[in-house]
């Protein structure tokens, strides 16, 4: 990009050289006077000194010609390079060459993240089920008396008394693999849960500082757990693609509208560097969705 030390920016002052018609533009707009407006763009004339980096390729081209190394057109053509897409979520450094890959990454990893334990689920539905089964005390109580474990396959609708029974059902009827990644039962979390909890606690405390009264969860997580989840979900993409994809895309189509209706999340600028954000994650606290004015 343009190196400040070599470029002389000459922002021609608008007020001196323009007539009144132009005041419709942003220079005179009341918007600019709103306090805290961080937007600063104004058109600028860019004068480039001969040593400027922007001129490098053209200069090399010129000197190739002077030294008789000029290429005729039939030879190698330089290919223009295309911008990469980069995951915005701070701490996630993933980069992609196509928009489709970016969307896929984002929807798979950052969209449906559980607020409490920061696990990343591939769809809104699986997230809902996860939250219910892992983090809902009421569910645990009810499950002792009725069939509460819902089959993971959308449309099946069957319920089971234990997660093991559901798992058997998934394997027998729906031909799921026995080690399906998104059907770990709670007790399998084991040590990970313990260490996870510790991190969660400290992270959640910080979050509470910020948005305690709102009843809205601000998701924060350490990089390590994020990566773990990434690995998990990445590996099983192949196996659950068919099942998840249709759910995924339909879910993601819904979420923007539903979320804007319900929530106006508050974000602190004191967010630590590693942050995991999932669009559906605010559903982690289902019962406490409040409406911000």
Longest CA pairwise span in the chain (Å): 87
Distance CA 65, CA 140 (A): 77
Comparing C-alpha atoms, which of 216, 212, 221, 219 is closest to residue 287? 216
Question: Contacts with another protein in 91-110 (CB under 8 A)?
Answer: 91, 95, 99, 102, 106, 110
Instruction: State which residue, 29 or 205, has the beta carbon closest to another protein.
Output: 29
Q: Which of 2/156 has CB closer to another protein? A: 2
Nearest residue (CB) to another protein, 74 versus 238:
74
**Segment 242 to 281, residues that bind another protein, using CB under 8 A:** 255-256, 260, 264-265, 267, 269, 271, 273, 275, 277, 279
- In sequence order, the 6+-apart residues with CB closer than 8 A to the CB of 292 are 214, 216, 263, 264, 266
Using CB under 8 A, which residues numbered 24 to 63 contact another protein? 24-26, 29, 31, 34, 36-52, 54-63
Binding mask 9-28 for another protein (x = CB under 8 A): -x-x-x--xx--xx-xxx--
Show the binding pattern over residues 110-149: x = contacts another protein (CB under 8 A), - = does not: x---------------------------------------
Interface positions, 179-198, toward another protein (CB under 8 A): none
Nearer CB in complex with another protein: 14/215: 14
Closest CB 126 distance from another protein, rounded Å: 19
* C-alpha–C-alpha distance, residues 132 and 170, integer Å: 19
Structure tokens at 136: 């809902």
Q: Which is nearer to another protein, 11 or 141 (CB)?
A: 11
Nearest distance from residue 113's CB to another protein, in Å? 12
The encoded tokens of residue 113 equal 């993240």
Residues forming beta bridges with residue 52, ordered by sequence position: none
Min separation Cβ 180 and another protein, Å: 28
Tokens of 48: 């480039």
- Is residue 211 a contact residue for another protein (CB under 8 A)? no
Question: Which of left, alpha, beta for 263 (phi over 0: left; psi -120 to 50: alpha)?
Answer: beta
Any residues with CB less than 8 A from the CB of 185 and at least 6 apart, and which?
Answer: 163, 164, 167
């Amino acid at each position: 990009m343009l190196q400040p030390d070599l470029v002389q920016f000459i922002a021609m002052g608008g007020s001196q050289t323009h007539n009144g018609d132009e005041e419709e533009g942003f220079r005179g707009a009341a918007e600019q006077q709103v306090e805290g407006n961080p937007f600063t763009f104004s058109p600028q004339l860019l004068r480039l000194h001969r040593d400027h980096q922007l001129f490098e390729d053209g200069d090399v081209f010129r000197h190739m010609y002077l030294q008789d190394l000029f290429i005729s057109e039939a030879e190698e053509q330089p290919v223009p390079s295309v911008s990469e897409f980069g995951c915005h979520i701070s701490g996630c450094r993933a980069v992609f060459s196509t928009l489709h890959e970016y969307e896929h990454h984002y929807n798979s990893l950052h969209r449906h993240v559980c607020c409490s334990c920061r696990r990343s689920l591939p769809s809104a539905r699986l997230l809902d089920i996860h939250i219910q089964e892992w983090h809902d005390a009421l569910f645990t109580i009810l499950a002792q008396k009725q069939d509460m474990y819902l089959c993971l396959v959308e449309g099946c609708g069957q319920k089971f008394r234990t997660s093991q029974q559901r798992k058997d059902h998934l394997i027998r009827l729906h031909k799921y693999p026995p080690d399906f990644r998104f059907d770990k039962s709670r007790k399998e979390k084991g040590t990970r849960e313990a260490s996870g909890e510790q991190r969660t606690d400290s992270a959640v405390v910080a979050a509470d500082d910020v948005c305690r009264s709102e009843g809205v969860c601000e998701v924060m997580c350490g990089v390590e757990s994020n990566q773990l989840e990434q690995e998990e979900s990445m590996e099983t993409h192949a196996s659950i693609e068919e099942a998840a994809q249709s759910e995924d895309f339909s879910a993601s189509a819904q979420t923007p509208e539903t979320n804007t209706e319900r929530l106006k999340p508050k974000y602190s600028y004191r967010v630590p560097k590693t942050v995991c954000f999932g669009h559906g994650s605010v559903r982690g606290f289902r019962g406490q969705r409040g409406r911000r004015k």
